Amino acid sequence: MKIGIIGLANSGKTTIFNALTGQDVPTTVYTTTEAQPHIGIVKVPDERVERLAQIYNPKKITFATVQYIDYLGITKGDMEQNRKVLEMIKDVDAVLHVVRVFEDEAVVHPIGDVDPLRDAETVELELILSDLDLVEKRLQRMEESRKRGKKIDEKEKAVLLKCKEALEGEQPLRDVEFTEEELLALRHLQLISLRPEVMVLNLQEEDLGTEKEKQLIKELKERFNVPVTALSGKIEMEIAQLEAEEAEEFLSDLGLKEPAMWRLIRLCYEHLGLISFLTVGKDEVRAWTIKKGTPAQKAAGKIHSDIERGFIRAEVIAFDDFISAGSMAEARERGLLRLEGKTYIVQDGDIINFRFNV
Ligand SMILES: Nc1nc2c(ncn2[C@@H]2O[C@H](COP(=O)(O)OP(=O)(O)O)[C@@H](O)[C@H]2O)c(=O)[nH]1
Ligand SMILES: [Mg+2]
């Protein structure tokens, strides 16, 4: 899974990137213009994988991973610059939109003062304008082709017009209903407002867990129709640099249950409708990410296209059933191991052994 971090300059994107990845990229109080995006890959915490690794003691343990990309801020009214920023994250599965709530005189605000709702609106509008520009240019090119006597794809044109209308009404494309076919026709444009989004409010420590936090979350949720969560980027970045034991102590002092690193991954997983299935063995214990509702044969393709092609059956057991049985042999004995066909819908935490023939 790939997640792109966006927001205004100095909203705390890089700070939160550090918190999410445990990296230590320098942050600045002035607006940066550096050319390189920051990229961090982190494992998706999964107790099931750890438990299975204890049982199998495999040569290799592989967690599902998330890749975060942090680049420059979105600038109000600067389409050219914004396009450069968005170009960098156009193939992400989800967008993490950082909104500044923290007050700090030393940290310049690009619009002058701290106003979360206005800032979020500003960024959302820039995403919409950027998409509108792409859609209009594409329509123009199609029209030119048509004039030159070429046949154009009428289906694509229809869906582009549908996008244009929504975008002109300042509606992000993620709020528009599209058929699978329409989405396919749009795919090559890699429109950013089509991506699922999670909003993160970057609070100062004193505001954590307060009425102010609750109120803001409610307000932004209602306004933007996306999941909204809050954290203190600065604190979370410190936590991410600590050893596990120290981090736990620090968290409980602050009244937090877990680091934002975990909470945000879970939120994105839920919001994107992602689940994991597991494979086990002496060589490797591994988690694989799929979309909820994926049938067994397609899930097999995650591992290898040969397994998908030559799919015969899936031997499946739920993680909890496996743990209660204690071993595969015992699970088989108790009839907990099921043989499923290619249309079986894989469930979160299924341990699967694919039988295939190529
Ligand atoms: N007081 C305070 N400062 C923060 C917080 N998060 C980030 N900053 C500071 O704001 C400045 C800009 O942060 P940065 O992460 O570089 O913002 P970016 O431009 O969005 O990447 C840095 O000086 C950070 O230390 C926070 O939660 N509280
Ligand atoms: Mg930055």
SS3 182: helix
Q: Please check whether residues 86 and 229 belong to one and the same domain.
A: yes
Least distant ligand from the CA of 38: 2
What is the Cα–Cα distance from 172 to 226, expressed in whole angstroms?
A: 11
Q: What backbone phi and psi angles, to 5 degrees, belong to 284?
A: -155, 140
Q: How far apart are CA 277 and CA 346, in angstroms?
A: 7
Give 158-180 pLDDT, tens digit per residue.
Answer: 999 999 999 999 999 999 999 99
Could you tell me the CATH number of the domain that includes residue 218? 3.40.50.300
130-141: pLDDT as tens digits: 999 999 999 999
236 with 201, same domain? yes
- State the distance from the centre of ligand 1 to the C-alpha of 65, rounded, in angstroms: 26
Q: For residue 171, tell me if it sits in a domain.
A: no
* C-alpha 303, offset from chain centre: 21
**In whole angstroms, how far apart are CA 256 and each of 61, 173, 177, 205?**
29, 35, 37, 12
Structural domain contains residue 37: yes
Ligand 2 geometric centre to CA of 270 (Å)? 26
Distances (CA, A) of 179 to 5, 222, 270: 27, 25, 22
What average pLDDT does this structure show over 228-257? Answer: 89
Query: Whose alpha carbon is nearest atom 12 of ligand 1?
Result: 10
**Whole-number Å distance between alpha carbons of 97 and 112:** 19
Q: Are residues 260 and 351 in the same domain?
A: no
Looking at the fold, whether 203 and 259 belong to one and the same domain comes out as yes
If asked whether residues 207 and 343 sit together in one domain, one would say no
Residues lining ligand 2 (ion), CB within 5 A?
Answer: 13-14
- The H-assigned helical ranges of the chain are 13-21, 47-56, 79-88, 116-147, 154-168, 180-186, 211-224, 233-241, 244-254, 260-272, 296-303, 305-309, 319-325, 328-333
Note whether 198 and 323 are same-domain residues: no
Ligand 1: which atom is nearest the Cα of residue 16?
15
Q: Is residue 167 assigned to a domain? A: no
Closest alpha carbon to 30 in 107, 123, 119: 107
Does one domain contain both 339 and 204?
no
**What is the CATH number for 347?**
3.10.20.30
Does 266 reside within a domain?
yes
pLDDT of residue 257: 84
Residue 308: CB atoms within 10 A of its CB come to: 18
Which residue range(s) make up the domain with 321? 293-356
Name the residue of 13, 14, 23, 27 to mutate for ligand 1: max ligand atoms within 8 A of Cβ: 27
Whether residue 120 lies inside any domain: the answer is yes
114 plus 232 within the same structural domain: yes
Are both 306 and 262 inside the same structural domain?
A: no
Q: Total structural domains in the chain?
A: 2
Task: Answer yes or no: do 340 and 196 share one domain.
Answer: no
- Residue 90 burial by CB count (10 A; 0-12/13-18/19+): exposed, middle or buried? middle
Q: Are residues 226 and 125 in the same domain?
A: yes
CA dist., res. 118 & res. 345, Å (int): 43
Instruction: Find the range with the poorest average confidence among 32-36, 87-91, 311-315.
Output: 32-36
- Interval 186-223: pLDDT, tens: 999 999 999 999 999 999 999 998 999 999 999 999 99
**45-59 average pLDDT score:** 94
Residue 30, pLDDT score: 59
